[in-house]
Structure 1
Amino acid sequence: MKNFSLILLTISLALISCSSSSNEYTAEEQIREDVEWFSSDEMDGRLSGTEQEAIAANYIADRFLQLGLTPAGDQDTYFQQFTLNGPMTQPMGVENHLSRNVVAISEGSTQPSQFIVLGAHYDGQGHGSIISMNFDQPDSTHYSADDNASGVAGLLHLAEKFSENPTEKSVMFIAFSGEELGLLGSRYFAESLDVPSDSILAMINFDMIGRLNEESELTIFGTETSPKWDEIFSEIESNNLNIIPSGSGTGASDHVSFHDIGIPVLHFFTGTHDDYHTPGDTPDKINEQGILTISEHAELLIRKLDELEATAMEFSETAPQQQSVMSGDSVTMGVIPDYNFSGNGFRLDGVRMGGPADRAGMQTGDIVVQMGEIPVSDIYAYMEALGEFSTGEEIVVKVRRSGEIVELSLTF
């Protein structure tokens, strides 16, 4: 009740702080405005269950209202409330706090009971704490610009486009909270659906779309969650994007919650970087033109989905539903995964200076094949293995480097 009252108390502040109506800006300027607002000093990292998260939720709800979208949360509001409970909530200081997803619908003109779901998480890492990758200053504001103000900016752009030019099917827009604490908001939404799951053709997730590089590389996960995806992509323009398809619909973002209930999914992603989960993830490093290009490509995809028969998107499960279990004594190696690696093992795309992996002598490009006595076949096996170790524990990690197996001593 206390946090629900906070929404009402802060809504005036949110409306004052909220950017002006989007028709005063070009699309690229509006994206920049949104990213800068969400990742400002005042938003203090937008950790779920905090005042700043509630203000951010009001910002999104106000934009949905401006666009004339139909509220689809609790009691005819845009907010779907849930309680933060899970292994990570207590060490992050928000256990049993209220949080909320923000949900709206662009009503379909002829098939309003069929849905295409678009999602992006708006919560950030707050001051980092146990989810920080910054080992020197874990307790400092993590601005969370790419992760994931970028995805929210793309979601709001698409909300504007579909409010102006609706589809035959309904498009549902969901800004999730609790993602950084274990996909809590999307799990809650998926487990309490108030529409039949088979009325949802697909779910498209925008998480970390703000660092499009000079090669215009966009990874799209989930391309094997339906045999129909290949056909759809072949029929739409690439918008000059260098699209890297990746079949799996599992991983560590909100689309997984929909994959796990049998819904085809996609996750748009421009890649990891050294600023991931650190205070360095700031808005000045965001490629707003890249977000716009990705959003325009997504719009083509969504409108192609809208042309399909309701039963056209057959679901294919893509990988075992393995979950990483974190607790207050959770450990990390301090590495950045190479999400595009499909070989045997877990390849590193980066190593955090001062972290356990760095101290052990691990290098970018190393492929982890064993941790202690536990074989590591892929990123999911790696995440499972982390749950078996404790802070201060010393293990031998075997990595494949330049074709040779190297044994390293690592202390968490």
Structure 2
Amino acid sequence: MRTPLFIFVSLVLYSCTQSSPDFLSQARRDLSILASDSLAGREVGTEGEALAAAYISKRFEALGLQPAGTAGWNQPFFVKESQNPHEKPMLSAEDSTAGTSGKNVIGLMDNPGDEVVIIGAHFDHLGYGGFSSLHRGDSAIHNGADDNASGITAMFLIAEMLQSKNIQTDVLFIAFSGEEKGLWGSNFFVKNPTIDLSTVDFMINMDMVGRLDSAKGMAIHGTGTAPQWSQVIDTTNTVNLKVIKKASGIGPSDHTSFYLQDIPVLHFFTGQHEDYHKPTDDAELINYEGIVRIATHITNIITYLDTQPKLTFQKTKDESSQGPRFTVSLGVVPDYLYDGKGMRIDGISEDKPAQKAGLEEGDVVIQLGDSTVIDMMSYMRALSSFKAGDATEVIVNRNGEKLAYDIQF
């Protein structure tokens, strides 16, 4: 049921006037508001986005941050989407294109030092669905609890945790909008920064950090963008997170915009799930203790590097562009956090080849046709050799037993 606007406003005031809440309770409160029906999915350019931006600015103010946008807390931007799919949308600071309006929300923790650390997360989502939705039913609110109310919630926690650390480095907190449309907000920021980007030591992004599974662990992307990252991550992991390190600085989230400006980045991600881009991505499915642990780890990283020399940027291979192209699909959701041999299935779509053949969630694909599958890349290479209408055999490891199934693409 949709929460009336006056109730939403009451929740904002309640959340922003609490005195020193414990981290877990505050995380629940923030995320439940950001992922409530009253924000109608927070799609860029809508009233829901504006309400979410207002809530974020109030929380920033309550956390003692200073406005650091171009209009108080906000950095408005305007987008005219291209009618040519091969052209990028036009971003501008002025509403001269009669396109979609959006806004980043920016707050500064002004410390004595001259260097800056950027902590980012996008706050927009899909509204009632649209092109990017994986929901096949009637139009419905996509609350985006994990994607990405979880990242904004973690950002608030980091700001609060840093208050007692007495660090020298300035910390710029940016809630981006338009990420779901193509990194609009972060792209606009790096082209129109409100600070001198040459003073930025590194950028940390959080996108979908609300479904931590301690057994599967958490992926940290961008670990190759500075030679120091791997050691720093290990040294500061005082909360016993299982970490899967991914080197590339390129990926489908806002850290990419900063990597392309030669800034070292990290991107925290707890994995894909069956509720991704669906109306079922709701607050009751969130691992709040996991968000607190992730925020603690990031706070540790910021604190540790506060007394260290500036990180050295280095380029990485673009893993997303190195992958093969394919025209068929098994109809499975890969487990992107799986670090064993093969490709583990984390979800299966209805009426697709995998389901029809009898594959199950948890199966580990170890062979597809004549190709041995040892990881995600080898799985994609194997898949790229098939076209619609082809038939082959897939071999999976199911609880230690090798099973073979016939697949029809």
TM-score by shorter chain over 0.5: yes
Q: 8 Å contact 1:322–1:380 — kept in the other structure? A: no
CA distance in structure 1 between the aligned counterparts of 2:301 and 2:66, rounded to whole angstroms:
22
Match of 1:67 in 2: 63
**Letter aligned with residue 133 of structure 1:** L
Ranges in structure 2 where 5+ consecutive residues have no aligned partner: 90-97, 369-374, 397-401
Match of 1:131 in 2: 132
CA distance in structure 2 between the aligned counterparts of 1:48 and 1:354, rounded to whole angstroms:
33
**Letter aligned with residue 97 of structure 1:** T
Matched residues, number: 377
SS at structure 2 position matched to 1:250: coil
- For residues 229-268 of structure 1, the aligned pairs below 5 Å read 229-268=229-268
State the Cα deviation string for residues 301-328 of structure 1 (Å, max 9, x = none): 1111222223x3332323266499xxxx
- With over 3 angstroms needed to count, the CA separation of the structure-2 counterparts of 1:302 and 1:316, relative to structure 1, is same
CA distance in structure 1 between the aligned counterparts of 2:292 and 2:254, rounded to whole angstroms:
21
State the Cα deviation string for residues 69-114 of structure 1 (Å, max 9, x = none): 1222114443343326366999xxxx92201111111112132xx2
Q: 8 Å contact 1:264–1:314 — kept in the other structure? A: yes
Q: 8 Å contact 2:216–2:337 — kept in the other structure? A: no
SS at structure 2 position matched to 1:120: strand
Match of 1:117 in 2: 118
**Letter aligned with residue 401 of structure 1:** I
The correspondence for 2:48, drawn from 52, 55, 59, is: 52
- With over 3 angstroms needed to count, the CA separation of the structure-2 counterparts of 1:202 and 1:396, relative to structure 1, is farther
CA distance in structure 1 between the aligned counterparts of 2:145 and 2:177, rounded to whole angstroms:
15
- Which stretch of structure 1 is more off in the superposition, 337-346 or 123-132? 337-346
TM-score by length of 1: 0.78
Match of 1:200 in 2: 200
CA shift for structure 1 position 158: 1.1
- For residues 153-192 of structure 1, the aligned pairs below 5 Å read 153-192=153-192
Q: 8 Å contact 2:214–2:241 — kept in the other structure? A: no
CA distance in structure 2 between the aligned counterparts of 1:369 and 1:183, rounded to whole angstroms:
36
Q: 8 Å contact 1:369–1:398 — kept in the other structure? A: no
CA shift for structure 1 position 162: 2.8
CA distance in structure 2 between the aligned counterparts of 1:333 and 1:168, rounded to whole angstroms:
51
- Which stretch of structure 1 is more off in the superposition, 210-219 or 267-276? 210-219
CA distance in structure 1 between the aligned counterparts of 2:203 and 2:29, rounded to whole angstroms:
26
CA shift for structure 1 position 359: 6.1
The correspondence for 1:107, drawn from 110, 129, 133, is: 110
**Letter aligned with residue 243 of structure 2:** I
Match of 2:399 in 1: none
Ranges in structure 1 where 5+ consecutive residues have no aligned partner: 1-10, 325-330, 371-376, 387-392
CA distance in structure 2 between the aligned counterparts of 1:381 and 1:244, rounded to whole angstroms:
19
State the Cα deviation string for residues 246-303 of structure 1 (Å, max 9, x = none): 2222221111221222211111122222211112211111111111111111100111
- With over 3 angstroms needed to count, the CA separation of the structure-2 counterparts of 1:307 and 1:16, relative to structure 1, is same
Match of 2:99 in 1: 96
CA shift for structure 1 position 122: 0.8
SS at structure 2 position matched to 1:225: coil
CA distance in structure 2 between the aligned counterparts of 1:314 and 1:120, rounded to whole angstroms:
21
Match of 2:318 in 1: 319
CA distance in structure 2 between the aligned counterparts of 1:77 and 1:368, rounded to whole angstroms:
51
- For residues 244-323 of structure 1, the aligned pairs below 5 Å read 244-310=244-310, 312-319=311-318, 322=321
Q: RMSD of the TM alignment (CA)?
A: 3.9
Between structure 1 and structure 2, the one with the greater Rg is 2
SS at structure 2 position matched to 1:129: coil
- With over 3 angstroms needed to count, the CA separation of the structure-2 counterparts of 1:204 and 1:400, relative to structure 1, is farther
